[in-house]
Structures are given as structure tokens and as C-alpha cells.
Structure 1
Amino acid sequence: MIPDRPARPDDHISPPPRNDHAPFPAAPGHDFTVRRRTLIALLIAAIVLPCIYVAAMAYNDLRTREADATDAALRTLRVAQEHALKVFDMNEALEARIVELVHGEDDDGIRANEAQIHAKLDTIGGGYPQVASVSIFGRDGDLLASSRYSPPPPISIATREDFTGIRDDHAIDRVSRVMVSPVSRETVFDTGIERRDDAGAFAGLVSIALRPGYFSAFYRDLLGAGSPMNMGLVRSDGAILALYPPPRTGATDITRHTPFDAALARGAESGVVRTRSQVVGGDLIVAYRRVGSYPVYVSCGYRTAAIWAAWWRHLSVLVISMFTPSIALWCVIWLSLRRLAAEEEAWERWQAEAAMRRSIESAYRQSRKMEALGNLVGSVAHDFNNLLMIVSANVQIARRRGAVGLERELSAVERALKSGQSLTRQLLGVARKQPLHTETIHVGRWLPACRELLGASLGAKVSLVIDVADDVWPVLVDVAEFELALINLAVNARDAMPNGGRFTVRARNISFRPGEGFPLDGDFVQVSLEDTGVGMPPDVLARAFEPLYTTKPKGTGTGLGLPHVFAFCERSGGLAAIDSAIGAGTSVHLYLPRALYAPAAQRPPAPPKEDAKPREGLRVLLVEDNDEVAAGTEALLQMMGHQVTCANDATSALPLVEAGYAAGHADGESAPRFDLVISDIHMPGEMNGIDLAEAVQAIEPTLPVILVTGYAEELERARHVDVRVLSKPFDIGLLEKMLEQIQRDRSARARDATLGG
């Protein structure tokens, strides 16, 4: 819209745009955003840095513990490997001595010398705790001699794996699996070496049975009680020869398809692997080493569960020692944030209060300014009304006297009178002195009925869109003032869209509750009028509702359109607001209070009954302080056939009423001297027209009174008195209708009095 209907800079619901609602800049030391971000950054750092430190320390500690566990396993493994190597080397030496002892003897020769050989075998193997028995087996696997028995029992190992393996030169079978020895009846594993005859053919074997318990006892002493490690003696094919602690499942072989099993399969000499063992039950770090050239490995496993348990204990101490002061720091920062939030809330509350004070002060200054301007405009409009009344009365007199040849001139004067009346009406509306004749209307049905009126105001280039729901609440407004407000807004929208555009009228229900920021509380109907025009700059927008302000070319704008709209909404109990931006068009929002009752159904007025005889003229007391207005009105009344008595003010009019009433009763008449009193409200002296009407009704309640005014505040008071009211400048035809109604009422009372007599 163009500047006569500017736009608001704020939030669609506040009063006329003011700069007083601009937010205060934060004072030095009150940059809450920077302080909050700093505290949040400190809080994040206080959380993240200790967490990073603890995570790094925990990771390093875990790696260190795993490395220490590996070192411990390797150190222990070396001891066990040296021990096993000495045992197997000694066995090999003993076996060599026994082979040398029976060299050149066949099976029969050994049997023949069994007693001597038994004694020597007992001497050779009897002094070693790891040796369970020493035996000599023949070519067919029969037991020929033993350190345990003499003569030996009939035992054969012809089908045993270690016998067939040594016979067939399988190196792995030089160390057998764990078994129950048929000779000693103990759980043992055998180490054997073949005997050969002079021709180099296989002649049997010499076997030394070793006790697994010997190795387990050594491993137990080596590891100590409660050790997280386990140790084992394992054949290269995975068969377990000795293990401490004993396997939980009674397994005889290591867990297959594990890194340790793969290392044994490829014949690795030594190494460290991580594996999961079903034999021990759990994850292990396993260090292994081959025992010399024998098909035997010594292994040392460290349970990772023990590593994790120790790591968790250390981590708990670390977390407690690290996060105890950190938690205290977090609490301090959190309390600082809470305090900062409280300070910010207090600061914003202070800002709001300060803004409210500034807004109230500005509103008070604006109110005083508008009040002063309104008084000035009201005084000018009142005097102008009197001038219009004089001109209007004399035009009516000229027409009634049948002025010939002056029809065009009188019509021009009447058109000028209508323009003057409209201008006076706007002036009084801006000054809050225009009387309102409120009635309840259905906005949903009333606005679409205004399509033709708005279309005429917008012109052919602007398209009109009316979007109003039927469930919009009724409102209590002065319909004429509402129509004038819509026309003003439509005209401004048309001027803002010289090349055409769209003008949209919308209506919806809206409710505001206390504390929501709207200046008013309650239920309202929001009538929004939106155009697609050029919009308004902020400087023009700020003076939107200022009376007599316009940026239209000279002679095309009065600066009263928008002030009249705002005054109409305010006097109706609502509010007007504008939203606009350059190039984005303008939206005007009218907030009109919801009516408590639905409008009554309109009934066509009953045609008045014509009297059979012509009515007599009324005796009128005309009270008017302006002589020219009084002269014109008096002449019109006389031309209508009425008798007129004039008084300049209420003080001089009241004695005339009293005297006429007293004289009428003294003569025995039932009617007072005057049939009607017509009085202006605004008059000099101690009494105004309303005071006069109250005094007249106190004297004679049935005496009709017509009050004439141009001020809204006087009209409000006049409504509490049983009188008829005309607002200046009034239409002579309306006055004539009132007088005819008074004549009919007077005739009806006269008939009732006659019939009653």
C-alpha cells in the first residue's frame, strides 16, 4: 500500500508501530551468549579431556598388562623348557645305556638273563622320580625285561601306536600319548628307542615310562598358588602329556582349529599366540617353545580374564581419582550455567520492564498528543459541522421553495455537502468524537455482501479475493464506520498497485490470554486485508497511524484514512495493526471484539398507518446557540408546518418549558405548551443539551426530546436518557421522519385519551 496505509514493523499484534519496542542492546558485562558458550566449552573440556586422559591411560595400561603377561609367560616357559629338555636328554642317555647293555642279545638271550637285566634296569631307572618303569620289548612287542617285575608278566605292545611307530621309524611316536602302563599300572607316557641286531634290522625297543604327574608337580611349584597362568607339555600333534592346572573337561588334546594348534601343525619352534581354549576354559595368551629336537612342546598360557580383572581394578581407582575432582568441577560449571540462566532471565525481565516503561511513556506521550490533536480536530469539526448545517438547511429551503433554474447548482452544493460530511466524519473519528451506532453482525455473511462495494473501490485492475469461514464469530461494530474503514483500506491498496494486483480479505477467530504479549485479552475476530503492492519503508511505517500524515501527491490524500481505521477499531474495543515490507505488499489486521449475542433476525418494517385526517403541526422548542444554524433549522421546521420557538441556550430554554407546562395545566389542558424539544448538546453555559433533556423529563416525562451532537462522548451519555439523537451533520429527511413519528405518537395518545373519556 502507499503511505496513507502504511505497514507495521513488529509482530502483527501490537499497537501502532513504535521504536520503543526495539530490543535493548546488551550492556557491557551482560553478553550472556559469550559467557554461556565459554561455560559450555569449559564444561565440555572438563568432561572430554578427563575422558580422553582416562581412555588413553586405560588403553596404555591394558597394553602394558598384556605385555607384562606375555613376558611373564615367556620367562616361565624358558624354565619349563630347560627342565623338560634335561628330562628328555637324560631319558635318551638312559635308553642308550640300556641298548648298550643288551647289545648283541636276541629275545631269547634277554629272557635267559632276565634276572641280571632286571637288577641293572632297576639300578638305572630306580633313582629318578619321573621314571615309572624301564622296559625292554622284543621284536614282536613282547615284554622281555622290566625294572618293576622279575620275571616280567606276559605283556605285548605289538599293536600299540608307539611300538609300531618306532618300528616304522615315525619320530613322533618316540613319545607316546598318555596312557595307563600295562607294566607299572600308572598313568604314564613312554619314550622309546629301537634296538637293532647286528644286521641293522629292528630287534625291539627300550621304553622308559615317565610320570605326567612329575611334570605337573614341577609346573605347580613353578607357577605357585593362585597363578593366572597354566603350563603344559604337549606333543607336536596336540596330544596333552602333562598340564597344570588339570583340564576341566578331561580332554586329551588341545583345542583344535586355534592359532596354537596351527602353530604346532606347521612345526614352529616358538612363539606367542592369542587363543581361546576349551581345555582351560577362556581366552589365553599362549607362549610355546619346542623341547630340543623332540616332538614335544612346552606351553605357558596366561588367562586374559585375569588381565582384564586387574585392569578393571586399576581403572576403577583411576576413574575415582580422576573423576572425583572432575565431577566437582562439573557441578561448579553447571551451577554457573544455572546462575547465568537466572541472571539472563532477570536481565530479560528487566529489559522487558524497561521496554514496557518506555512503551507506556511513549504511549502516554502519543495519547496526550492525540488527545490535544483530537480536541483541536474536534473543535474544528464541530464548527465545520455547524457551517455544513447552515448550508444544508438553506439548500433544503431553496429546494422546498422551488428554486427554478438552480438544479445543477444545488446538486453541486449537495455533492460538496456530502464530501464535507464525510471529511467531518473522518475528522471526528480520528478525534474519537464521532458517535458510533453499534450493532451485531455476522462477519462470515456480511463481508461477502461487501464484494460490490470493495470492487468499486479497488477498480478493474485489482482482483478481489474474499476468504471468510462461516463459523467466524459475530462482532459488535458500527456498520457504517466498518464499511468506511474497508473502503479506505481498499482505496489505499488500489493506489499501492497501480499496475494491478490482488486484494485479499480474510477473517478468522483468534483468542488472546493474559501474558501472551497482546495489548488486549479475550476473543476477537481478525479481519486481515492483504495487498500485493509496493509495501512501505520503515520510516513511513513508523508514522502509519499519525493523523494528517500522507506521502500521496498533493490533493490525492488527506492523511485521515488509516488514523480513522485505527480509531474505529480502538473505539470498538479492538485494535488495528499493520505488517509491511518493501516489495512484499502490506497486510492490515483489524482485531474486533467478539459479540456476546448473535444478531437478531431482520424483519421488514411494518408500513405506517396513514391517518384519515392530516396531522397538525408540532409546537417545537428549538435550542441552538448558533444563530445561523437556528435560523436555517427554524425555517425548515416552519416549512414542514410546525410552530417553532427558539432559545439560545439551555438556561433560557428550561423556564419556557416550565412556564408552558404550568400554563397548560392551569387552563386544564392535558398537553403541555410544547410538543417537542430539539436541542444541541454542546452549548455554552452551565447546562448542556443532556442536562436540559433530563430537566425536561423531570418536569414532563412524556415530552419528546431530540438531541443533536457531533461528539461520541456526549452520545454515550445521551443513550442513558430517554431521548432521540441525531448526529451532526444530520439529514433533513431523517429529521422529518422523526417528526412524523412523533406526530403519530401524539395522535395515538389523543385518541386513547378521547376513548378513555
Structure 2
Amino acid sequence: MTSDRVDSARAGRLSRRPAREQDDASFPTVPEQNFQVRRITLIALLVAAIVLPFVYVAAMAFADLRSREADATDLALRTVRVAEEHALKVFDMNETLNSRIVELTDGLDDDGIRAREHTIHDKLRTMGGGYPQVASVSIFGQQGALLVSSRLYPSPENSVGQRDDFVGIRDGNVLERVSKVMTGHVSGEQVFNMGVERQAPNGSFAGVVSIALRPSYFDAFYRELLGSSDATPIIMSLVRTDGAVLAHYPRGPREPTALASDSPFAEALRQGQRSGVVRMRSSFAGGNLIVAFRHVGSYPVYVLCGYRTSAIWAAWYKHLSVLVLSMFTPSIALWCVIWLSLRRLGAEEEAWQRWQAEASMRRSIESAYRQSRKMEALGRLVGSVAHDFNNLLMILSANVQIVRRRGVGGLERELSAMERALKSGQSLTRQLLGVARKQPLRTETLSLERWLPSCRELLRASLGAKVSLVINSGVDTWPVRVDVAELELALINVAVNARDAMANGGRFTVRASNVVFRHEDGFPLTGEFVQLSLEDTGGGMAPDVLARAFEPLFTTKPKGMGTGLGLPQVFAFCEGSGGLAAIDSAIGAGTSVRLYLPRASTEPHTAGPAEALATESGVPQGLRVLLVEDNEEVAAGTEALLQMMGHQVTCVFNADTALHVLDDARAKRASTGEPLPFDLVLSDIHMPGKMNGIDLAEAVLRFDPQLPVILVTGYAEELDRARHANVRVLSKPFDIGLLEQLLETIQHDAVQTNNDAATHPADT
């Protein structure tokens, strides 16, 4: 399973990289003398074959044995494919029948079903009576009591509350959806059950709907498939994933109940293989077998087709005897030479394919490097635009707050429209910074198993009424460390794209699972990751569209319907989190977006209740704020807001000037003993001059560690450095209310410090 995901994920990642044509002459060619050596070798083998006939006999016998084994393997594969399709149809029909019965009893508790037993019994008999494989259909209550049976009315008193399949379905064990073979209490014959859970209106376990299937039905089908002869070298089995045998043909004196847990087939299941071929020894088959197996859909069942190697050896001995009688015939020598030459050509073809794969990988790496450089340049451009746009949003936000605080009447509708536009602009800026890899990430450890179900309503709102939503958060899914807001935005972006791809409705599936990538897998990542699969049943993407899916500003939607920033944000978020995003899609086959997020080293924790800030009555005058902002409009709006909050503001336009002002104040304090004229420094980070805001903050804290500093930025790399400087940080664009809250906290701390100093002057 892991290798399948690795191959598909590699294909999805590489599908968007444009291939670069290269001159074949730039690659080494096969030396000419190799062909000459081959010709000399073939001539020598021809002479040796004429002189030494037994060499030819051995070679031909070996080829014949391998050919018969290959034919037997091919026959087993073709036969097991037919049997798998038949079993899938049977189980799908049973799944549909189970769903219809669940719908029939929807909303009914055990007493309600017993009250309608006669009606439900008639319907069950009608539903299951037309299928030869169905022995009976039963409905069991919450504690396992038999409520209704399609075979008997009234139903006898019987309980399966302790039976493995009932307990397994109740506990969510997928394996027990298909039970082991048993003697049915109602049908009185050998059956195995296929059951599904009934749920109460509140979603709790309400019981089981079970269909009893006849193993003899499958035996009859296998007999018809293989022919009625008892001498057939092929055996057929239907087994569960734990090795329990459900059906087997041909029957013998030793009827199998389960496959050995140490068999090659069991080992293949432990490795997660859904299909394949193994060689194994079977005690009930009386010898060695070549076994082809296939997984039946999503059910915990495999179909096995075994070919007895004893039949292969018997036919091979017969052919060998004929070969020995005619070993001196010149044609036999010729056939051996041709066979050897074909073997040689096959080896050369394999070597050529390996060389081609290495050349293709080199081209892909070069293409990925060019794509990375292009994305880096585009990121710088997008980041610069987003920074300027952030300043414009700050100007508009500040002035809207000023108008609101001045209490201008009659403008509520207009101000609300401007605030909605501000939120849209902030969202767009966040996407632009995310694409540019400059969006600050507020990472935290998150359990997807607990978090994904809480996103159901959000995803439903993004998908619309026509699209059904399926969320499978997995079991024991590893925690991840991500920015929850960015992960939420990524899910919304993919969901919106899925909704647009399924205009006539469909299904959107979210699955979480653990996956481990090793270096030998050839995947771009190594280590432990959580795979978040987002799959839709839409029309899919053409190859040219798939190749550009993660390209910023690229969109196939009509004008005004898309920005081309959705999937690029998803890709940037995954890479920023240390993971990877990949897409698989084809016309008519839907689209699958897979997010690979690295496993977190710590477990998620639930934060305790936040401590409420003590409110102070009679707080003195506001703070004295040194505002450092190079954009005049942003500075003017922020200064006006701070003054309306009751603070005194001194504004300078770069960090160099601010440091000069603080140095003068510090010198004055040293000579006169007067305190600093500022209670707070509020500074942007990205400014012209020799110093930026972080340099200013570090300089302030060196000469006065008690002076609060608030830095404002929109760049992720600046935000990380600012946090290491041990100062308060606001990421653009921020809510003015958040700044006001922060200032109130600083003002409260200042009042508390002054009160402590007044109470304990000796300590001061």
C-alpha cells in the first residue's frame, strides 16, 4: 500500500514539472563492440550446441519449465480476476441489500421492529428470496437479540450478543463485516454472514443487519468456472484477511478452515498487498501451489486461485522425454540458440530501460530546479505586492475605526461594507503571502483524528448542497504540527475547487492515514508523515491543466470566479510545514489532492482556561507611545487612533531617527534623572534606513529592558526573528481591537508596577 501511494504521489508531483527536451547525443551510447561480442558468443554457443547436445536439452528443458510456470501463473491470474469480479458483484449486491434493510428500519428501536415483525419479515423474504447465495436475512437488536428473520415468523428467541461478528461490528472492526463460516441458528446450514451496523437517531449503535451467505454457492460457481472435471490442477478459495476460509473448491476429505499464519500469502497480507502471486505449500491441497490472489473491493476478503505445481512437473516430464528422443535434431540446437539470443536481447532491453529511466530522472531534477527558481522570483514579486497592499489595508482599517469612534451617524451601512471589503482584502493578502512563502505560520500540535470531525460544517458550507461529504479521520492517526488557520484555509480551497468541478453533484471524501517514506522509495520526502487525502468525483483535469495546477495565478475558472491562488496556497502551506502536496487527476476519473504533513514530535495538549486580566478602575492617563512607521498614511491613521484611545503619540518615520530620539532621552535621564518620555515603542519592521524594526527593538532592550516594544510585520521570516527578540509581535493585517487589547495589558502592567513601587519603596 505504501509503495502505491509513493508511486502515485511521485507521479502527482512530477506531473506539474515541464519536461525539457535534450539532445540524445548528449547521453552516452551503447559501445559498438558489445554487439560483436554477442555475435561471437552466439556462434560459440551454436558450435557447442551441435557438439554437446545435452547443453541444448538442458537449456530447452529449463525454458519449457519456466514457460509452463508462467502459463500457469497467467491462467491463475486470469481465473482469479474473474472470481474477484464475481465476488465483488455478490458483496456489492449484499451491501446494497443491507443498506435497503437499514433504511427500512430507520428510526425504529428494538420494540418498534418487533411491533412490525410480520411486515418486515415479508419484505425481508421478498428481498433475499430471489438470490441463490442468500440463506437468510436477519435483524438483530442492540444486545444481539434476533428481532426479525426472513426464514421464520415469528422469529425464534436467539441472541448473537457474544458472537465475534456481532461484537466486531459493534466495536467498529472492519474485518468482522464478513464473519467466519458457521452453522446458522435460523437457516440450519453452513453459512458466513455479511453484516452492517444499525444506528439510532442519535448516532449510537442500535443493532446489526446480517445476510447469511451460502459457501456452497461460491463452490458451485468455482466448479462451473474451472470445469466439472475433478482432475483439474486448479483450486479456488475465498478467504478473509485473517486467513479464515469461507469457500473452497474442489472439496476434499480435509476441508480447510484457515490458512497458516506463517504462509507466504499471510506475509503478503501483512505487507499490505492487494493482489499478487506467491508460492506456498498447502496441506489440504496435497503439495506446492502457485497462488494468485486479489482483494475484493473494500471488503476484508481475498479470492485465491492456486495451480498445483505437480501438474506442471508432470507435463514437463512428458515433454522432456520427447525432447531427449529428438536431441540430435538440428532444429533443437537452432531453437536453443534463438532462445539464448532472445534472453540476451531481453537483458539488453532491460538495461536500456534502466538507462532511459536514469536520464528521465536527471531531466526531472533539472526541471524541478528551474521551477523552484521561477517560483522564488514570483514569490519575491508577490510578497512585495502583498506588503504594499497590507499597508493600504492598514490605512483603510485605521480610518474606518476613526470614523466609528467619532460616532458619525448615518454611515453604518457604508462602514459595514468597508469592513467586509477589509476582511476580503486580508484574506487575499494572506493567500498572496502564503504563495510567496512569507505568510507567518502560527504552528501548534494538532490531532487530525479529533480535529477533522469539527470541520464538517465548514466543509459543507464550502461544498454546497449538491455535494455529499465523507470524512474518515482514521484510527491512531499521528499528531502533526501545523498552522491550524492555514490548514483550514487549504481544506476550504480544495473543497471550493471540488465543488466547482462537480456542478451536478458528487462526493467529496477526506481521509487521514499514517505513512512512512524510506530513502529507497524514491519519494522526495523521508520519515513519518500523515497523509490527508482530499478526493472528488468530478470531471478531472486534462494533462496540460494538471501540469500547471500549483502554478500561482493560473486558473481555468471564468473571469471573476477564481484568483489562481487556492492550490498554490495549499502547496505553499505544505512545504512551509515541512511536507508536500501532490495531485492525481485524469479526465473522467476525478481529482485526488494529497497533503503530506510531518508527524509532530510532541502530543497535542488541551490548553487550560485563560487567566482573566484584573481590571483596574481609575486608570491614569494613557501611555506615551513612540510610533515608528515609514508610510505616512499608515502613521497618520495609527496616530489618530492611538490619540482617540487616550494615548500620547510621538511619530518618527524610520528606526534610525527613533534610536536617535531614544539616545537623547537616555542621555537626558543620565544628566537630570528624569524618566524616559515614553512608555511604549510601536514600530514597523520593514523600513528604509540602516536599521529595521528588529534592530531597533534589540537596541532598546539593551539599554532599557523594562521598556515595552511592539513590532508589526507581514513577513514570516521577520516574524520568526522578532519572536526570538523577546518582544510583542503583531502580524499584518491585524485587528485594531487586538492592538487596543495589547495596549490595555501594557497599561495595566505599568499601573501594577507603579502601585508595587509605591507600596514597597525600599524594594524599588
Tell me if TM exceeds 0.5.
yes
Query: Aligned pair 1:683/2:687, yes or no?
Result: yes
The residue aligned with 1:403 is 408
**CA spacing shift, 1:15–1:575, aligned 2, 3 Å:** farther
Query: Aligned pair 1:14/2:13, yes or no?
Result: yes
For residues 400 and 47 of structure 1, the distance between their equivalents in structure 2, rounded to whole angstroms, comes to 103
Q: How does 1:333-348 map to 2 (within 5 A)?
A: 341=347, 347=352
Paired residue secondary structure (1:641): coil
Residue 45 of structure 1 and its aligned partner are, at CA, apart by: 13
Q: How does 1:353-432 map to 2 (within 5 A)?
A: 353-432=358-437
Residue 486 of structure 1 and its aligned partner are, at CA, apart by: 0.6
Q: Which amino acid aligns with 2:370?
A: R
Residue 698 of structure 1 and its aligned partner are, at CA, apart by: 1.2
Normalized against structure 1, the TM-score is what?
0.58
**CA spacing shift, 1:44–1:539, aligned 2, 3 Å:** farther
Residue 370 of structure 1 and its aligned partner are, at CA, apart by: 1.2
Q: What RMSD in Å do the two structures reach over aligned CA positions?
A: 4.0
| Contact kept in structure 2, 1:43 and 1:330, CA below 8 Å | no
For residues 368 and 51 of structure 1, the distance between their equivalents in structure 2, rounded to whole angstroms, comes to 64
For residues 23 and 451 of structure 1, the distance between their equivalents in structure 2, rounded to whole angstroms, comes to 49
Q: Which amino acid aligns with 1:714?
A: E
Identity within the alignment, %: 67
Q: Which amino acid aligns with 2:17?
A: R
Paired residue secondary structure (2:510): strand
Query: Aligned pair 1:643/2:642, yes or no?
Result: no
Query: Aligned pair 1:704/2:708, yes or no?
Result: yes
The residue aligned with 2:747 is 743
Paired residue secondary structure (1:677): strand
The residue aligned with 1:610 is 615
Paired residue secondary structure (2:673): coil
Q: Which amino acid aligns with 1:685?
A: G
| Contact kept in structure 2, 1:663 and 1:673, CA below 8 Å | no
The residue aligned with 1:175 is none
Q: Which amino acid aligns with 2:677?
A: R
| Contact kept in structure 1, 2:434 and 2:569, CA below 8 Å | yes
Query: Aligned pair 1:624/2:633, yes or no?
Result: no
The residue aligned with 1:729 is 733
**CA spacing shift, 1:333–1:559, aligned 2, 3 Å:** same
The residue aligned with 2:182 is none
| Contact kept in structure 2, 1:9 and 1:541, CA below 8 Å | no
Q: Please, which of 716, 720, 742 is the counterpart of residue 716 of structure 1?
A: 720
Paired residue secondary structure (1:384): helix
Cα displacement string for residues 178-198 of structure 1 (whole angstroms, at most 9, x for unaligned residues): xxxxxxxxxxxxxxxxxxxxx
For residues 430 and 739 of structure 2, the distance between their equivalents in structure 1, rounded to whole angstroms, comes to 19
Q: How does 1:456-535 map to 2 (within 5 A)?
A: 456-535=461-540
For residues 698 and 54 of structure 1, the distance between their equivalents in structure 2, rounded to whole angstroms, comes to 91
Residue 27 of structure 1 and its aligned partner are, at CA, apart by: 9.5
Cα displacement string for residues 704-733 of structure 1 (whole angstroms, at most 9, x for unaligned residues): 111111111211221211111111111101
Cα displacement string for residues 299-347 of structure 1 (whole angstroms, at most 9, x for unaligned residues): xxxxxxxxxxxxxxxx9xx99x989xx99x9999989968985x66765
Paired residue secondary structure (1:591): strand
| Contact kept in structure 2, 1:624 and 1:683, CA below 8 Å | yes
Q: Which amino acid aligns with 2:577?
A: S
The residue aligned with 1:695 is 699
Structure of greater Rg: 1
Paired residue secondary structure (1:719): helix
Q: Which amino acid aligns with 1:705?
A: V
| Contact kept in structure 2, 1:16 and 1:576, CA below 8 Å | no
For residues 554 and 430 of structure 2, the distance between their equivalents in structure 1, rounded to whole angstroms, comes to 17
Paired residue secondary structure (1:450): helix
**CA spacing shift, 1:730–1:52, aligned 2, 3 Å:** closer
**CA spacing shift, 1:409–1:568, aligned 2, 3 Å:** same
Cα displacement string for residues 241-277 of structure 1 (whole angstroms, at most 9, x for unaligned residues): xxxxxxxxxxxxxxxxxxxxxxxxxxxxxxxxxxxxx
Normalized against structure 2, the TM-score is what?
0.58
Higher relative contact order (CA 8 A, sep 6+): 1
Residue 660 of structure 1 and its aligned partner are, at CA, apart by: 2.2
**Count of residues in Structure 1 that have an aligned counterpart in Structure 2:** 481
The residue aligned with 2:446 is 441
Residue 368 of structure 1 and its aligned partner are, at CA, apart by: 1.8
Residue 612 of structure 1 and its aligned partner are, at CA, apart by: 3.3
The residue aligned with 1:283 is none
**CA spacing shift, 1:46–1:621, aligned 2, 3 Å:** farther
For residues 22 and 493 of structure 2, the distance between their equivalents in structure 1, rounded to whole angstroms, comes to 33
**CA spacing shift, 1:44–1:752, aligned 2, 3 Å:** farther
For residues 330 and 53 of structure 1, the distance between their equivalents in structure 2, rounded to whole angstroms, comes to 6
For residues 700 and 509 of structure 1, the distance between their equivalents in structure 2, rounded to whole angstroms, comes to 50
**CA spacing shift, 1:350–1:444, aligned 2, 3 Å:** same
Residue ranges of structure 2 left out of the alignment (5+ in a row): 1-6, 59-320
Q: Please, which of 575, 583, 602 is the counterpart of residue 580 of structure 2?
A: 575
For residues 636 and 536 of structure 2, the distance between their equivalents in structure 1, rounded to whole angstroms, comes to 49
Residue ranges of structure 1 left out of the alignment (5+ in a row): 1-7, 56-314
**CA spacing shift, 1:672–1:53, aligned 2, 3 Å:** closer
Q: Please, which of 529, 535, 538 is the counterpart of residue 543 of structure 2?
A: 538
